[in-house]
Structure 1
Amino acid sequence: MKYCYTAAAFSALLGFVQAESTCCTALRDAGLTHILYEGDAEYTTRTESYWSVSAQLHPTCIVQPLSTDEVSTVVKTLVSGTNCSFAVRSGGHTTWAGSNNIDNGVTLDLGLMNTTVYDKVNNLVKFQPGNRWGMVYAELEKYGVTVAGGRASTVGVAGFLTGGGNTFFTAQRGFACDQVQNFEVVLASGEVINANATSNSDLFLTLKGGSSNFGIVTRFDMQTFTQGDLWGGVRVHSKNKTQAHIDAYTAWVDNVVNYPEGSSIIFWSYLPDVKDVVIIAAYEDTAGNESPAGFDKFMAIEAMSDTMRKASHKNLTDELEQAAGYRDIWFTMTFANNPKIFSHIVEAHQTMVDEWSANESSDFITQAMFQAIPTVFSKHSVERGGNVLGLDRETKNGIMLLFNIAVKGDADTEARARQKLRATTDELHEFAKKEGGLIEWQFLNYADSYQDPLGSYGADNVAKIRAAANKYDPKGVFQTRAPGGFKIGKVPVALKKRDEL
């Protein structure tokens, strides 16, 4: 009996693998020329180019379309096939397994679709989803303009924009998604449509934060603006400067509305080369003002190193890239601008570092990263037509946390790190809630697979996302055939409105 069960299971698995292989053959028969298989050198290169090792899965094949028409052909071919599951990759920066890659399926890799065209007449830049932000900035700097995009140059554009996108310019312009004027989208039917304020406006709204629930974006048309050098850089401090930074940062959060040209990210990080936790702070003045008064409290704190300077947008984003080649586990939460909660998080981070280093021998990096989320951010979003992030519900300034651990080693090491991080962050969530400072909002770009950022947008926005997904993908292809990322189908239908809780 045991043998029969094993044989049946093997037969089912074989049928699944054969179906997936058939899907790759169908793509070739449809005229697609850039298809990579395991054993091909470029297949290995593309697989290993995912930023997080956790996301380096093994699809049956990787298809690399060269145009919107080819994306349409890929989608129509896969949807018409039997059991053709697929994933969609832009920059490959999302950390967790299955978010942008797939085992035993087809990965639709947009990396070869990476053109950037500046439209000076309309103050727009039109770029494809295979771009990374550094590529976009490099092209725009030829014309003395830029866009409000990612703060690390190697991050891909597509997931960043459809997840919201926080930038150096959010206090002046709203989130990155608010700068998009038009999305070109391939639907599950293969139809190519444009979504903007006047055409398919419901899809336009929900793509601004609604992620991969509707189709594949093949071009972004984004507003540009004149930009010279910024003043910015990174300062590194001993962890004995913790209280000074907490005091300065909580004061900063409430002053963002008065100094919208400023941007500040601060994090406590364990670095293997130092074998200790240090404080790393990145500052940018987007107007290019040197040593502006808005940063005085930060600049008064003694630093071990300092790279503050006048530099281009791209140059500053080159500086903020994180190390690749680790298994990365991320978690996010948002809390009120409360120094007690802030201090507790820093202490919990130190405890996690101490416990992990005492019991594990592998190389690791941690971060407890803090970013201001003041109400002025969503004010600008509303002025630009709105999005589905749901931050316009908030009436008090908040702080967003990215808490992460990156480990070397095997999948078992990653599993232990995930368990440790989740236990720590669950406690942080409860502490903030007990203190009356938990803001029930999660930033999708930073969320882990077990979190529910879409649900945190609130019942009204969930309803808008669900309605758009049902309208533009009535067969649920991007809920089932392309299961990666955060899916609206997994958000409870009976989600309550905040005033009902």
Structure 2
Amino acid sequence: MKVSSAAVPVLSILPEASLGLGSTQLCCAALQATSLRNQVLYPTSTAYNESVSSYFAVNVQLDPTCIVQPHSTEDVSLIVSTLTQTGETQCPFAVRSGGHTTWPGAADIGQGVTIDLSMMNSTTYHKDKGVASIQPGSRWQAVYKALDPYGVTVPGGRGGPVGVGGFLIGGGNTFYTARVGFACDNVENFEVVLASGSIVNANRTSHPDLYKALKGGSINFGVVTKYDLKTLPHDGLWGGLVVYDNSTTDRQLSAAVNFTNNIHNDPYASWIGMWEYSSTTGQNIIADALEYTKPVAFAPAFHEFTSIPNITDTMRFATIYNLTQELVQAAGYRDIFTTGTYRNDIKVLRKAIDLHNNNIEKAKSHVKSDYWAMDVIIQPWPKLFAQHSVEKGGNVLGLERFDENLIQILFDYAWDDARDDDLFIGLGQSILEEVDEYAKSIGAHNEYIYLNYADKSQNPLKGYGEENVGFITRVAKKYDPDGVFQVQVPGGFKISQV
């Protein structure tokens, strides 16, 4: 266990002129008094504004008192030590990796300090260990590009610009989940800065309780500064997007249910179904993302989808980097995600699509935005996923307790006018409530909620099950006895609030 040598109560050495500052300004002044002074950004600087504007969704962009950009694990240790050892002054802070979460305050803070990890963005391949060491500020597209020359890849995000950090500690569904489990299941080691500033490595033999808790437990324990992720051979994939007319919905949903129930027969196949409306085109279409994780075209696993007449497609042999560029969501808009998990039942899927079509018409009657879009995204969550997790030592998602194939639905609404916030947030939350209510009425509802897609109004950690909630709570108290990551870091989903 290491601690930054500069970790001292910095407020005690601040000049007297600083003592008239507000409490959060004092926190920034404390950071300014360390060796990281040139990495502390204020609202008057270009770098500050570039950081704020780089969040995926405009509605999550807050104005922290200052932003600090560490370049190393030691920098993070010094920052955390400074912010947690400032006498009686409370220094609220946030931790940001890619900033892709769509609710305000998840990875940013209005009054306080945001630790922006974007400068910690390297990927190093260790051929002898078959491991890639990845820093948390990297984006998956950069990771894939760095590993491609070595003929390897890792199970990571399917949208290139998504950040590494939050994705991995939230579980991480990937093109490879049916083959190797969730992304978090493939982490060999987490390097973590604890609330005390101590630096620890969590793996199967060192701090194994923390190691397991970080596999889905999110930001309840510390700041992860490096992930050692097991690599996979990579000689290309076959995949792309296939666009269909909305009239094919019934055939699509039938294919989705069958694919989910049979994915164990060919775990190389990955499918994402997207029902999409955009005000730009005025069209309500279906787009399937089909990816096969080895270079084989038109695998039989996809036959039920590929036999449906389509409008156009981009199917091809490509690298994972190339394919994840195709699944990039447009940034720079206001956005909301809500998500639910259900028994793999076509009736639930039909209900979701019917309500989605109704919501489009409701929005048309009230919308003020020039641009707006409404998507329903359906993805398989079969038993096979959790079986891999158990084989690799387990995580805290709790999916192994369900003895049936599941399917996940994500509602994703985007718009460009703040006057429509209540409209789209209301529609996004109400459609989930209606689908949940219907699913419960037919015994098809499941309590699991994928944390990386969850809205602030949801409680994904509770859905991990009572046993895992208790485990995460104990681990959080052990490694963060003062509750820094429960109170002083208000962003993210807190185990203390389950």
Q: TM-score, normalised by structure 1?
A: 0.94
Aligned to 2:29: 25
1:421 to 428, 432, 443: 428
Alpha carbons 1:16, 1:83 under 8 Å: kept: no
2:81 is aligned with 1:73 = no
Cα displacement string for residues 279-337 of structure 1 (whole angstroms, at most 9, x for unaligned residues): 01100110211111111110111111100000001100111010111111111100111
- Give the Cα separation in 2 of the matches to 1:364 and 1:431: 27
**What is the total number of aligned residue pairs between the two structures?**
476
2:230 is aligned with 1:223 = yes
1:58 to 54, 60, 63: 63
Aligned to 1:37: 42
2:445 is aligned with 1:438 = yes
Tell me the CA shift for residue 404 of structure 1: 1.8
2:412 is aligned with 1:404 = yes
**What letter corresponds to residue 267 of structure 1 in structure 2?**
M
2:207 to 181, 196, 200: 200
**What letter corresponds to residue 338 of structure 1 in structure 2?**
D
Aligned to 1:497: none
Aligned to 1:496: none
Aligned to 1:499: none
- Give the Cα separation in 2 of the matches to 1:444 and 1:419: 20
Alpha carbons 2:397, 2:464 under 8 Å: kept: yes
Tell me the CA shift for residue 415 of structure 1: 2.4
2:401 to 390, 393, 403: 393
Root-mean-square deviation over aligned CA pairs: 1.1
Cα displacement string for residues 96-145 of structure 1 (whole angstroms, at most 9, x for unaligned residues): 10000000210000000111110000000001111010111101101000
- Give the Cα separation in 2 of the matches to 1:265 and 1:223: 24
Tell me the CA shift for residue 16 of structure 1: 11
Aligned to 1:351: 358
Aligned to 1:305: 312
Alpha carbons 2:363, 2:423 under 8 Å: kept: no
Determine helix, strand or coil for the equivalent of 2:460: coil
Cα displacement string for residues 367-404 of structure 1 (whole angstroms, at most 9, x for unaligned residues): 11000000000000000010000000110101011112
- Give the Cα separation in 2 of the matches to 1:135 and 1:355: 40
Counterparts of 1:192-271 in structure 2, within 5 Å, are: 192-271=199-278
2:174 is aligned with 1:170 = no
- Give the Cα separation in 2 of the matches to 1:39 and 1:148: 39
2:372 is aligned with 1:364 = yes
2:346 to 339, 346, 364: 339
- Give the Cα separation in 1 of the matches to 2:208 and 2:386: 19
Determine helix, strand or coil for the equivalent of 1:111: helix
**What letter corresponds to residue 391 of structure 2 in structure 1?**
E
Alpha carbons 2:342, 2:407 under 8 Å: kept: yes
2:133 to 120, 126, 129: 126
- Give the Cα separation in 1 of the matches to 2:422 and 2:120: 35
**Identity over aligned residues, as a percent?**
45
Alpha carbons 1:271, 1:278 under 8 Å: kept: no
- Give the Cα separation in 1 of the matches to 2:426 and 2:175: 33
Structure 1: gaps (5+ residues): 1-14, 492-501
- Give the Cα separation in 2 of the matches to 1:421 and 1:287: 36
Alpha carbons 2:53, 2:61 under 8 Å: kept: yes
Tell me the CA shift for residue 20 of structure 1: 0.6
Alpha carbons 1:203, 1:468 under 8 Å: kept: yes
**What letter corresponds to residue 42 of structure 2 in structure 1?**
Y
Q: TM-score, normalised by structure 2?
A: 0.94
Structure 2: gaps (5+ residues): 1-18
Tell me the CA shift for residue 425 of structure 1: 1.4
- Give the Cα separation in 2 of the matches to 1:452 and 1:490: 9
- Give the Cα separation in 1 of the matches to 2:192 and 2:104: 25
2:381 is aligned with 1:373 = yes
**What letter corresponds to residue 231 of structure 1 in structure 2?**
W
Tell me the CA shift for residue 17 of structure 1: 7.2
Segments of 4+ moved more than 4 angstroms: none
